[in-house]
Every structure is written in structure tokens, then in C-alpha cells.
């Protein structure tokens, strides 16, 4: 949903969009999330996000595939591999997961607007944004 | 005189005989004519039946290919219904056909499929249009996202690794998702 929402609401400055990991598909999913956070250390969070979400093949979720992706993005491979091997962002993911569950998130994708869960259709999101905008003006 | 009478009588006898032969011939001719008439009638009826039978045949193949047998026709129908179920455009179907069909029946089916779908025109265009819009709807958001993120980077909008937009924006849209 994010492209449309970003296009409609975020570019206008009315809203910001945040992506949060909610890992439900096991080890590969967790590995991809960790790799994305490690890439974020070097300014390539969105590049990894796009690769995993829109382009990824099964091989991308392996260590070799992830390293190849980091190399393709021009990352410092030594730093990246150290980040992966030490699971440097594991606690960040755990915290994200706990906060999501506490917010009522039970599956993916789940969308919230100012903390309130809304439908995942573009119209539902835009309606919620408009409602939140009206409320903020009152 | 007697001789002449005999001769006349003989001629009369012969004439009677001839008259009798004529009657036989005439009746034979009449019967033959009746038979011919009946035969012609039957022939005409046969021609009419043949012509009406030809009229109910499927339209001849405009490409001049030999007409398909009933079995081939069934294969054509199956092929057409399969393609209709897949909602492919005329161009897609045409492009997917092998350059040298394995058999004349397949070639005939291919050509009939293309000609029938071309003849249907509007439905083909609708399918093509819907396919095009589907392709656009798939590619456009990704391009839009890439552009937006690139623009966000240039404008300093990407405030954090997982955030796009103004960090001071009053509304926060959060997506909880999994990469798989």
C-alpha cells in the first residue's frame, strides 16, 4: 500500500510513513529484517526494503544472497557481515515486535493512522488520514 | 383384282401390325417419359437436398486451408474456450502460437481462433485494455515509490531508516509488515 499512501499523503507533508517489521514467517523473514537494519547503518535501508519486498527471490534470503545484495549496493561488506553475524539489531526487532503486539497488531499487513488500526485499502487509509487531519485542526 | 385385294389386305394387316407396334412403342415411350420424369424429379430433389445441405455447412476457410473434420472442430472449440478462459488478447494468442503447428488441424484451429477473435473485435480490445491497465497498475506503484523515495532523499524527507516524510508531520501512518 505504501506507494499510493506516500504519493497521496506523505508528499504533501500532511503525514509521514513508517515501516515496522512484524515478523511472522520465521527465520528467513527475521534474517531479512536484520539485514535491512544492518544496511540502514550504511544508508541503504530502503534499498534493501525494496529488494526484499518487491524484487526478492528465494536466494536473496540466504546469507550469500544478502551479501551479494550488499555488494551490489556498494556497502562496506566487512561492517555489514559483522552486523549480521553479531545480530546487532536483534533487540531493535524484538522491541518493534512487542510494541506491535501491544498495539493490537496480529498479522500483516496492518496499518495504523496515529496508532489506530485502519483498513488496508488505500481509501480506508486516506479516509483515516483525512479524519485525523480534521481532528488535528479542531 | 383379287391379287390387289390380297395386297391391300396384306398391307392392312401389316398396317394393323404396324399400328399395333406403334401402340406398343407409344406406350413404351410414355412409360419411359414417365420414368424419366420421375428420375428427373428425383434428381432435382437430390440436387435441392445437396444444395440445402451445402448451405448448412460451416463457412469455408478464407485462408483456403482444408476444412477441419468434426474431431478437429471439437479441438478448435476446446482451444477457443481455453483461450477465452485465460482472457488473452488476440495479439497474445497469436504470439504464443508455434511458428509451425504440429498438424493441419492445429494450424486450422490457430487460424480460426485468430480470425474469430479478430472478428469479435470489441471483446478482444476489452481484454487487451484490461491487461494493459493491470500491467500499469503493477508497475506504476513501484515506480512511484522509487521516485518518491528518491525525491525524499533529495529533499531530506527521509528522516530515519524506516521513515519517509517530514518527521514533524502531524499524522503518522505505520505499516506493520513482513518481507516474505
Q: Which pLDDT value is given to residue B143?
A: 57
ipTM of the shown complex: 0.91
pLDDT tens string, chain B, 180 residues long: the values are 444 445 444 444 444 434 444 344 344 444 544 555 566 667 777 777 777 665 544 444 443 333 334 444 444 343 333 233 333 332 333 333 333 333 434 443 333 433 344 333 333 333 333 334 444 444 555 555 555 555 555 455 555 678 888 888 889 999 999 887
Q: Where are the alpha helices (DSSP H) in chain B?
A: 2-55, 70-86, 90-96, 104-120, 122-155
Q: Which of A16, A20, A49 sits opposite B166 (nearest CB)?
A: A16
Chain A residues in contact with B140 by the CB 8 A cut-off are 3
Of B151, B169, B180, the CB nearest to A25: B180
pLDDT of residue B130: 34
DSSP string, chain A: -HHHHIIIIITTTSEEEEEEE---S-HHHHHHHHHHHHHHTTT-HHHHHHIIIII--GGGGSHHHHHHHHHHTT--HHHHHHHHHTTTTHHHHHHHHHHHHHTT--SSSEEEETTEEE-SSHHHHHHHHHHHHHHHH-
**What are the residues of chain B with a beta carbon less than 8 Å away from any beta carbon of chain A?**
140-142, 144-146, 148-149, 151, 157-159, 161-167, 169-180
Picking from B150, B153, B156, B173 by the largest number of A CB atoms within 10 A of its own CB, the best residue to mutate is: B173
**pLDDT on residue A17:** 86
- Residue A79 pLDDT class (50, 70, 90 cuts): very high
Q: Give the A:B interface size as CB pairs under 8 Å.
A: 151
Residue with more model confidence, A138 or A88: A88
Quote the percentage of chain A above a pLDDT of 90.
Answer: 49
For residue A59, what pLDDT band results from cuts at 50, 70 and 90?
low
- Residue A113's beta-bridge partner residues? A116, B173
Minimal CA separation from B154 to chain A, in Å: 13
Q: Provide the pLDDT confidence category of residue A81 given band limits of 50, 70 and 90.
A: very high
- pTM, whole model, 2 decimals? 0.51
- Which pLDDT belongs to residue B54? 57
| Chain B residue whose CA is closest to A3 | B145
Contact A109 B167 (CB under 8 A): no
B165: part of which helix (H) or strand (E)? none
For position B169, what pLDDT does the model report? Answer: 87
Grid cell of B46 as nine digits? 437430390
Q: Which residues contact A2 (CB under 8 A, 6 or more apart)?
A: A17, A19, B145, B164, B175
Question: Which residue among B141, B162, B166 places its CB closest to the CB of A18?
Answer: B162
Give me the pLDDT at residue A5, please: 61
Contact, A48 vs A35, CB < 8 A? yes
Give A39-53 pLDDT, tens digit per residue: 999 988 888 888 887
pLDDT at B38: 61
Are A14 and B158 a contacting pair at CB < 8 A? Answer: no
Q: How confident is the model at residue A16 (pLDDT cuts 50, 70, 90)?
A: confident
Tens digit of pLDDT for each residue in A88-121? 999 999 999 999 999 999 999 899 999 999 988 8
Amino acid at each position: 500500500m505504501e506507494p499510493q499512501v506516500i504519493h497521496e499523503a506523505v508528499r504533501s507533508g500532511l503525514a509521514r510513513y513508517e515501516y515496522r517489521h512484524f515478523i511472522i514467517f520465521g527465520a528467513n523473514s527475521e534474517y531479512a529484517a536484520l539485514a535491512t537494519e544492518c544496511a540502514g547503518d550504511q544508508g541503504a535501508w530502503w534499498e534493501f526494503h525494496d529488494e526484499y519486498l518487491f524484487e526478492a527471490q528465494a536466494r536473496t534470503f540466504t546469507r550469500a544472497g544478502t551479501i551479494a545484495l550488499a555488494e551490489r549496493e556498494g556497502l562496506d561488506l566487512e561492517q555489514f557481515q559483522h552486523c549480521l553475524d553479531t545480530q546487532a539489531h536483534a533487540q531493535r526487532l524484538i522491541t518493534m515486535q512487542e510494541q506491535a503486539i501491544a498495539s493490537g497488531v496480529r498479522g500483516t499487513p496492518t496499518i495504523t493512522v496515529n496508532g489506530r488500526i485502519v483498513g488496508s485499502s488505500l481509501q480506508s487509509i486516506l479516509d483515516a488520514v483525512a479524519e485525523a487531519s480534521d481532528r488535528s485542526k479542531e | 383384282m383379287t391379287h390387289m385385294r390380297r395386297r391391300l389386305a396384306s398391307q392392312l394387316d401389316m398396317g394393323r401390325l404396324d399400328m399395333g407396334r406403334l401402340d406398343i412403342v407409344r406406350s413404351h415411350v410414355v412409360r419411359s417419359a414417365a420414368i424419366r420424369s420421375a428420375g428427373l424429379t428425383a434428381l432435382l430433389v437430390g440436387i435441392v437436398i445437396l444444395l440445402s445441405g451445402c448451405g448448412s455447412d460451416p463457412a469455408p476457410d478464407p485462408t483456403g486451408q482444408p476444412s477441419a473434420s468434426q474431431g478437429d472442430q471439437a479441438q478448435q472449440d476446446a482451444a477457443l474456450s481455453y483461450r477465452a478462459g485465460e482472457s488473452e488478447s488476440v495479439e497474445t494468442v497469436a504470439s504464443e502460437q508455434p511458428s509451425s503447428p504440429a498438424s493441419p488441424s492445429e494450424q486450422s484451429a490457430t487460424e480460426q481462433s485468430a480470425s474469430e477473435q479478430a472478428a469479435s473485435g470489441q471483446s478482444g480490445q476489452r481484454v487487451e485494455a484490461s491487461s494493459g491497465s493491470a500491467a500499469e497498475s503493477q508497475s506504476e506503484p513501484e515506480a512511484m515509490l522509487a521516485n518518491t523515495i528518491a525525491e525524499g532523499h533529495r529533499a531530506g524527507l527521509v528522516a530515519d531508516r524506516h521513515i519517509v516524510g517530514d518527521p514533524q508531520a502531524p499524522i503518522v501512518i505505520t505499516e506493520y509488515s513482513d518481507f516474505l
